[in-house]
Amino acid sequence: MTHVSQFLGEEADLGPEKRITILSAPLASSVSWLGGTERGPQAIIDASPALEVFDDELLLETVRLGIGTRPVPDFSALSTAEACRQIEQSVAGELAKGMFPVLLGGEHTVTVPAVQACLAQYPDLHVVQIDAHLDLRQEYEGNENSHACVMRRLDDLGIPFTQIGIRSFSKEEYELVRSRGLQPFFMSRIHAEQDWIEQVCREIKGPVYLTCDVDGLDPAIMPGTGTPEPDGLTWRQTIDLLRGIASNHRIVGMDFVEFSPHPGAEHAAFTVAKLIYRTLGYIFR
């Protein structure tokens, strides 16, 4: 199969002056159940030319903002630490050029170096996490850099965060939430409180780094992930949330992680591509 080299394919050329960079981070070193996240970025890029560049909600051609795509690197021979070093450097490089970085994972671990790069530029950064999981473990299977620990590592850096779509966690993680007085947006809370999006927006104080673990979405629309959990966010809930955040706050960088292509569920890659495209439209309109 020949791969597409840029997000949106040839139609990306409709935006000659690039302001947005799609970066790929195909890291897959800490797989919990179903693998394949190393193939995630390319699968999202391959599905993206099927998008209609005229956004059906925003009624504009977001592509004209200028969306560039960097080549997908090969991380298979790198240690996690070296891959993370390269990710931090690439994101920092894009920020220094005034570009808006969109990182495609890969496992969730890639968020840590991307956030570190953004933090250097925006010291009052606030991380918004869409996810089925809290990812607050101190370590998982002996690995502190597991994808199951990513928010704990950001917490170690003292970064404030808001967690949305949560419906799977350990006793240890729940006790940490209780003892620290954290108030994640569990799915039970989202179902019970009609104004949950306003609550999310009120909680955010600084510029936003958005990390979207695609398993936050319901597996019915997002089967392409290693750890599918029932009762996830619908498409409508997800885009309403992202529209709300982008309308009220400045988003300075984002990632879409933990996507893994599964045969027979090709629509999932397209769904991630559309989610990225729609979110860019909300941010830059």
> φ, ψ for residue 201 (rounded to 5)?
-65, -35
Q: Which is nearer to Mn ion, 55 or 135 (CB)?
A: 135
Taking the complex as a whole, the smallest distance from the CB of residue 227 to Mn ion amounts, in Å, to: 6
| Cα 90 to Cα 247: distance, rounded to the nearest angstrom | 27
Handedness of CA 214, 216, 220, 223 (dihedral sign): positive
Listed ranges 24-32, 121-129, 130-138, 194-202: which one lies at the site for Mn ion (CB under 5 A): 130-138
Q: How many CA atoms lie within 13 A of 211 on its CB side?
A: 32
Q: Which is nearer to Mn ion, 94 or 258 (CB)?
A: 258
Listed ranges 19-27, 74-82, 126-134, 231-239: which one lies at the site for Mn ion (CB under 5 A): 126-134
| Cα 41 to Cα 273: distance, rounded to the nearest angstrom | 10
3-state helix/strand/coil string of 229-242: CCCCECHHHHHHHH
Measured between alpha carbons, how far is residue 103 from residues 124, 143, 147, 181, 187 in Å?
Answer: 20, 23, 15, 30, 26
| Cα 161 to Cα 209: distance, rounded to the nearest angstrom | 9
Taking the complex as a whole, the smallest distance from the CB of residue 263 to Mn ion amounts, in Å, to: 22
| Cα 281 to Cα 64: distance, rounded to the nearest angstrom | 10
| Cα 65 to Cα 20: distance, rounded to the nearest angstrom | 8
Among 83, 84, 90, 133, binds Mn ion (CB under 5 A): 133
10 Å Cβ neighbour count for 283? 24
Q: Which is nearer to Mn ion, 215 or 218 (CB)?
A: 215
Q: Which is nearer to Mn ion, 41 or 232 (CB)?
A: 232
- What residue numbers does the annotated binding site cover? 108, 131, 133, 135, 213, 215
Taking the complex as a whole, the smallest distance from the CB of residue 7 to Mn ion amounts, in Å, to: 23
Listed ranges 24-32, 122-130, 132-140, 259-267: which one lies at the site for Mn ion (CB under 5 A): 132-140
Listed ranges 69-77, 94-102, 128-136, 247-255: which one lies at the site for Mn ion (CB under 5 A): 128-136
End-to-end CA distance of the chain: 35
Q: Quote the DSSP letter at residue 109.
A: G
| Cα 70 to Cα 24: distance, rounded to the nearest angstrom | 7
Q: Which amino acid is at 274?
A: K
Taking the complex as a whole, the smallest distance from the CB of residue 162 to Mn ion amounts, in Å, to: 15
Asked whether position 131 contacts Mn ion by CB under 5 A, the answer is yes
Q: Which is nearer to Mn ion, 8 or 27 (CB)?
A: 27
Asked whether position 213 contacts Mn ion by CB under 5 A, the answer is yes
Asked whether position 215 contacts Mn ion by CB under 5 A, the answer is yes
Taking the complex as a whole, the smallest distance from the CB of residue 115 to Mn ion amounts, in Å, to: 16
Listed ranges 3-11, 181-189, 215-223, 266-274: which one lies at the site for Mn ion (CB under 5 A): 215-223
Q: Which is nearer to Mn ion, 46 or 213 (CB)?
A: 213
Instruction: Give the residues lining the site for Mn ion (CB under 5 A).
Output: 131-133, 213, 215
